[in-house]
Amino acid sequence: MPIWVISASMFPAHRRKSPESLEALASNSVLGRIRSTVRSDRHASTCRSAPLSELIQRSLPATIRTRLLTQAIPTQNEWQFPCLKKREHTLCLHHRACKSVYNYCDLILNILLQPDITRVCLDLRRIAFTLHESVVNWIHASVASSPRPSSLICLQIQGGSPHSDHVLPILNELASALVASAPQLRELSLPVCSNLTLLHVSNMPKLTSLQAERTKKLNRRGLWHLCHPDSISKYQLEVLELGVFKHEFFRKLDVAKFFTCMKRLKKFSLRDEERNLVRANQASPSVGGKILTYSVIKLGIVDAESGKHPDLFPRGEFKCQLKELKVVDRHLKPEYLLTACPDLEKLTIDWQEDLAWAPFRVFSVDWFSQMILSPSWRELCLKLSDLELVLPLAHGAERYSLPLEDFSVLIQALNGLKRLKIRGAGGQDPLPLSQILQSCPDLEHLILERTSVTVPQDYEVIENVSVCQNLRAFSFVESLTSMATSRRLTSFILYYMPNLERLELQPETTFSFSGLKPRELEKLAGLLKLTRLSVALSLKAYIMNLPEIIFILRKFPQLRYLVISWGKAHSVFNEIGNKRMNSMTNWLHSALQSENANIHLEIDFLLHGNTLLTS
């Protein structure tokens, strides 16, 4: 590895790290002590965790111990821990905190988890399979064995999978204990739940949000527990997400009745998008899982108007208070949502297209093109602040991908959106990015995934009407855009998105994109408010000139988080191997530390995770 010398000019004073506070130094020291203790306890005959737990509980208030637990078991900051983007069960070898959680999460909970902790969040996908039962047992013991009520406000146990289903009996006991011992609990996430779990949840006094990624032994009785006239959840629950995959005992009418009974439900999902809509067998394909959420709304409207169930719809109308709705592979009729969901603010359309083709032909292939022409669609869009479109191209090649004529009609109705996400568009004709900004002047967050775009070639005359002053976050990942467009993209972002605070520019694979060169990266330094940046850098341009990156980073006025990948769309660089790229990344870490730069550098785990993760 060559030895580079960086000039004496360093990062400006306001861009360097300030001396750590006494609290931060003490927190790091305590976390280091905890990690060394759990490592020794796993293999030692004597336990040192109990004295340390008593010392921490006696010396530190609950607010600091809650913060320590959040730092010891990271689950949320994907800019500081990009490995959290991985949805599979993985062991991250890059972060010391991740390795400790994977191997010693139960012992960490033994030390830090006390009844006065207000927030507990963990992900079973980041914990060894052999520890799942022990981890849930520790949480249950902390709640059930305490002589005084728990202060828990939020309990999130995520990462449900078939490997975690065996902890369901313990989770049922935990839910029972929470009813009596956690009167302040407002948010609850579980990896798996059942009818019995929902029975306990229905009696939690202040619970407003329940999420369960999987369900076992669940039928309509579970929903009945939640909406029973004597239950608390009927009047308190606002968010309900259940992963329903075996639904032989689920009828749409039962879910419609559940809707009519709930008084404050604003978000409801049965994870329709995660079920197999088409089963491919040896003889012939067949229709797979039921689509429940949108179909239930449609059924409720039809039955209410026909008077078929006067006991369910006594006033002859079906209405709910949903503010978020996901429509999966169905012919959406906007007039239904205008009638049944007058408060709707966020809509997700996940169109998978399989059921539109032979032998199913459940709905017309061109339903989307016809829908966006309807006045009811334009009326619905006026109510929305958040729209997500997942188009068939995102699920398979050579499928519908929003041709330009449909795009022009669609985008004209979206001028009131605050957030827009499009996945799987521009497969035939790239979408004009400037038209999106011009049509959505209030847009604050734009996400484009597996989408091809085009940008103007001439920047001498800037179209002021297309400059989006409100845009704060732009994510352009898994790009299908050509190399020529990618070269002009950074200039377009600088001129037309001047107030960005977060920016992601990552390709689908590093083998298909050569990465940003120094001049292109330097243009992004003109974004005066940019604090978080994720980009693919050109391996060819920097492999013999790494200090150039440091020179450019000095020009970013506010940058705090930087996530990089190495674009290597050249055969000669494909042979370099991951070891060389890791050494380059490590050099950048050392260079930033030597200048005391206040920039947190990470590698993109979705693109280079094979070198830093083990499944």
Tens digit of each residue's pLDDT (9 = 90 or more) over 551-607 = 999 999 999 999 998 876 555 555 565 667 788 889 999 999 999 999 999 998 887
Q: What is the mean pLDDT of residues 358-383?
A: 86
What confidence score (pLDDT) does residue 512 get? 60
Q: Which of 41-55, 102-116, 168-182, 313-327 has the lowest mean pLDDT?
A: 41-55
Q: What is the mean pLDDT of residues 231-241?
A: 95
The answer, yes or no, to whether residue 278 has pLDDT greater than 60, is no
Quote the mean pLDDT of the chain: 86
**pLDDT tens across 319-364, in order?**
888 999 998 877 889 999 998 899 999 999 998 866 666 566 666 7
What confidence score (pLDDT) does residue 312 get? 66
Percent pLDDT > 90 in the chain is 56
**Rounded to whole angstroms, how far apart are CA atoms 537 and 516?**
5
Question: Please, which residues have CB within 8 angstroms of residue 426's CB and are 6 or more apart in sequence?
Answer: 401, 402, 451, 452, 453, 480
What confidence score (pLDDT) does residue 315 get? 65
Which of these, 592, 599, 477, 585, lies nearest to 530 by C-alpha position? 599
Q: Which of 113-117, 235-239, 268-272, 312-316 has the lowest mean pLDDT?
A: 312-316
Residues facing residue 422 across a β-bridge: 389, 448
What confidence score (pLDDT) does residue 90 get? 86
Q: What is the mean pLDDT of residues 272-286?
A: 57
pLDDT tier for residue 417 given thresholds of 50, 70 and 90: very high
pLDDT tier for residue 123 given thresholds of 50, 70 and 90: very high
**pLDDT tens across 26-46, in order?**
999 999 999 999 988 776 645
Query: Two tokens at 551?
Result: 């020179």
Is the pTM above the cut of 0.75? yes
What confidence score (pLDDT) does residue 399 get? 86
For the chain, domain boundaries: 23-156+163-178
pLDDT tier for residue 611 given thresholds of 50, 70 and 90: low
The amino acid at residue 323 is K
**Better-predicted residue by pLDDT, 17 or 281:** 17
pLDDT tier for residue 365 given thresholds of 50, 70 and 90: confident
Q: Which of 157-161, 287-291, 608-612 has the lowest mean pLDDT?
A: 287-291
Q: What is the mean pLDDT of residues 481-505?
A: 84
- Across 361-381, b (16+ Cβ under 10 Å) vs e yields eeeeeeebbebbeeeebeebb
What confidence score (pLDDT) does residue 286 get? 44
The answer, yes or no, to whether residue 282 has pLDDT greater than 50, is no
The answer, yes or no, to whether residue 510 has pLDDT greater than 70, is no
Q: What is the mean pLDDT of residues 171-199?
A: 96
The answer, yes or no, to whether residue 1 has pLDDT greater than 50, is no
What confidence score (pLDDT) does residue 287 get? 46
What confidence score (pLDDT) does residue 612 get? 58
C-alpha dist (Å) from residue 301 to 234, 257, 258, 311, 314: 21, 12, 14, 14, 12
Percent pLDDT > 70 in the chain is 85
**What is the full DSSP assignment across 151-191?**
--SEEEEE---GGGGGGHHHHHHHHHHHHHH-TT--EEEES
Count CA atoms within 13 Å of residue 328 on its CB side: 17
For residue 299, count other CB atoms closer than 10 A to its CB: 19
Q: Name the burial class of residue 597, with classes exposed (0-12), middle (13-18) and buried (19+) by CB atoms within 10 angstroms of its CB.
A: buried
pLDDT tier for residue 104 given thresholds of 50, 70 and 90: very high
**Rounded to whole angstroms, how far apart are CA atoms 332 and 342?**
16
Q: Which of 248-262, 476-490, 596-610 has the lowest mean pLDDT?
A: 476-490
Query: Two tokens at 75?
Result: 């689950």
Q: Is 311 helix (H, G, I), strand (E, B) or coil?
A: coil
What are the backbone dihedrals phi and psi of residue 222, each rounded to the nearest 5 degrees, phi first? -60, -45
Q: What is the mean pLDDT of residues 253-272?
A: 87
What are the backbone dihedrals phi and psi of residue 255, each rounded to the nearest 5 degrees, phi first? -70, -35
Give whichever of 268-282, 345-359, 527-541 has the largest mean pLDDT. Answer: 527-541
**pLDDT tens across 204-228, in order?**
999 999 999 999 988 889 999 999 9
What confidence score (pLDDT) does residue 601 get? 95
Q: Is 337 helix (H, G, I), strand (E, B) or coil?
A: helix
